[in-house]
Amino acid sequence: MSTITRFAPSPTGRLHVGNIRTALHNWMLAKRHGGAFILRIDDTDAERSREEYVEAIRADLAWLGLDWDREERQSARLTRYEAAFTALRDAGRIYPCYESAQELEVKRKIALGRGLPPIYDRASLKLTEAERAAKEAEGIAPHWRFLLDHAEPITWDDGIRGAQKFDAAQLSDPVIRRADGSWLYMMPSAVDDIDMGITQVLRGEDHVSNTAVQIQIFTALYAADFAAAQNAAKLLPAFAHEALLVGREGKLSKRLGSLGCDAFRERGIEPEAIIALLARLGTSQPVEPIADRAALIESFDLASFGRAPAKFDEEDLERLNAAIVHQLPFASVEERLPSGMDEAGWHAIRPNLAHVAEAGEWWRLVTGPIDQPEFTAEDRAYLAEAAVALQWSEDPWGALTGSLKESTGRKGRGLFLPLRQALTGMDHGPDMGELLPLIGEVEARARLGRAAA
């Protein structure tokens, strides 16, 4: 069976680095096995969902180069959820509940006070038809819970965490529909995974208990003969839960929730650097400045993921970014470079950049003007000799320094530094063998002459 994964963001805000990592790993898993990657917009929360966030999610994934094979929207699938709801209700696996949020909170506090887990007590399940009718006559609209089967142990072989086992009696029957008729996450997600043929659910470890509940929802839907045509074999997806991201201090950081594509773009971070970092963060494989996505995909393996929290360090990202920038070909950055910079110019200044946006500052060494330092009388005489000795050739820098070394006896710093300072106004920078031809013979001679004057 072909691998089919999905990324299912809710359009209630912008993607952050944790979402991006989940999307990336699902994309890589699908690509690794020649499968399909689905973007599923979980927009059943009509009050909080915004179309602008849908557009932002698409734009961010496109900027990162995470292409999806098809897009689905939960808001277009409400009739499917209604059908699943009816099937489960008719099978006795959904029941109405009438407690208010305040009443449920009181029950939770009482359980905790007694040292018990805050599990729903199924009080509404014990109501008679007459009692239910009386509550609805009072204008109390029910919310609906899925009835977990306490006799059925929940087990699965997690792709990262290994063998998992849950006692359903230690879990609350989950609310799947609110009193206003709107849907919560649990059932629609399972319906979608059935209908869309999802074979692998890869998500954060905070969803482990959700998976336990959803396995029973899958089983109940198949038992009710729901969506048999979509998945005749009645297969469940394989599940894998990866460790969550933490900050460099080793704990959850609010900053991680604010780090998104906009923040990365503003800082000049390349998509390739984000991909290189997040692709292997939390695995046993080394994080390296690999710009070749095919190589990253080829090495992607759930078996390499660890159980320890994955530490996201912005300094590591900056170092990776610089290393990635040093690999970027001219064609990929041409539109972002200053006017007049050609491939030779990019090749010359690229090793000095941490971000592509810095290219303009370094290109000024070629276009000028530059600010030269004050030179000693001895260095001025040396630079005057250099202005005369400058001869243009295929390697003007090599020819000039070779000639001056022979004629002046200078070497090392004394030979090279005054020339670099005169020609660029700096003590360091791009390789002069590449930079001098870009400056040009006339301008180079003029700069040497000014420095000697």
Domain assignment present for 323: no
Q: Indicate if the pLDDT at residue 232 is higher than 90.
A: no
- What is the reported pLDDT for 406? 96
Is residue 350 domain-shared with residue 389, that is, in the same domain? Answer: no
pLDDT in tens, 35-45: 999 999 999 98
Q: How far apart are CA 405 and CA 357, in angstroms?
A: 37
Is residue 352 domain-shared with residue 394, that is, in the same domain? Answer: no
Average pLDDT on 338-344 reads: 96
- What is the reported pLDDT for 226? 85
Answer for the pair 5, 37: CB distance below 8 angstroms, yes or no.
Answer: yes
Q: How far apart are CA 147 and CA 321, in angstroms?
A: 50
Average confidence score pLDDT of the chain: 95
Q: What is the total count of domains within the chain?
A: 2
Where does residue 52 rank: exposed (0-12), middle (13-18), buried (19+ CB within 10 A)?
A: exposed
Q: At residue 270, what are phi and psi to the nearest 5 degrees?
A: -80, 145
* Spatial CB neighbours of 64, under 8 Å, sequence gap ≥ 6: 20, 23, 24, 261, 271, 274, 275
Domain assignment present for 243: no
- What is the reported pLDDT for 258? 79
Q: How far apart are CA 234 and CA 448, in angstroms?
A: 80
Is residue 357 domain-shared with residue 400, that is, in the same domain? Answer: no
Q: How far apart are CA 345 and CA 212, in angstroms?
A: 57
What are 91's strand-pairing partners?
A: none
Beta strands in 223-304 (DSSP E): 238-242, 245-246
Domain assignment present for 94: no
Domain range for 355? 332-361
Q: Which of 311, 344, 361 is the last residue of a domain?
A: 361
- What is the reported pLDDT for 323? 98
- Residue 9: pLDDT band (50, 70, 90) is very high
- Residue 163: pLDDT band (50, 70, 90) is very high
Output the six-digit token pair for 243: 């460790």
Picking from 181, 178, 153, the residue whose alpha carbon sits closest to that of residue 167 is 153
Output the six-digit token pair for 390: 């400058």
Q: In angstroms, what is the C-alpha Rg of the chain?
A: 32
Q: How far apart are CA 34 and CA 431, in angstroms?
A: 44
CATH code of residue 422? 1.10.10.350
pLDDT in tens, 247-302: 877 766 667 777 899 999 999 999 999 999 999 999 999 999 999 999 999 999 99
Exposure on the CB side of residue 143, measured as CA atoms within 13 A = 17
Q: How far apart are CA 135 and CA 151, in angstroms?
A: 30
Is residue 371 domain-shared with residue 429, that is, in the same domain? Answer: yes
Is residue 438 domain-shared with residue 378, that is, in the same domain? Answer: yes
Judged by DSSP in three states, 433 sits in helix
Domain assignment present for 418: yes
Domain assignment present for 280: no
Where does residue 238 rank: exposed (0-12), middle (13-18), buried (19+ CB within 10 A)?
A: middle
Is residue 352 domain-shared with residue 372, that is, in the same domain? Answer: no
What is the residue type of 189? S
Answer for the pair 73, 27: CB distance below 8 angstroms, yes or no.
Answer: no
Q: Which of 344, 361, 378 is the last residue of a domain?
A: 361
Domain assignment present for 325: no
* Spatial CB neighbours of 148, under 8 Å, sequence gap ≥ 6: 168, 169, 171, 173, 174, 213, 216
Domain assignment present for 281: no
Residues in the chain: 453
Judged by DSSP in three states, 231 sits in coil
Is residue 354 domain-shared with residue 417, that is, in the same domain? Answer: no
- What is the reported pLDDT for 315? 94
Per-residue CA distances from 25 to 11, 67, 403, 420, 422 (Å): 20, 13, 57, 47, 51
* Spatial CB neighbours of 270, under 8 Å, sequence gap ≥ 6: 321, 324, 325, 328, 356
Domain assignment present for 411: yes
Which residue in this structure is represented by tokens 């999802």? 198
Of 145-149, 253-257, 416-420, minimum mean pLDDT range:
253-257
pTM of the shown model: 0.91
How many CB atoms are located within 10 Å of the residue 278 CB?
25
Which stretches of 4-98 are DSSP H helices?
Answer: 17-32, 51-64, 78-90
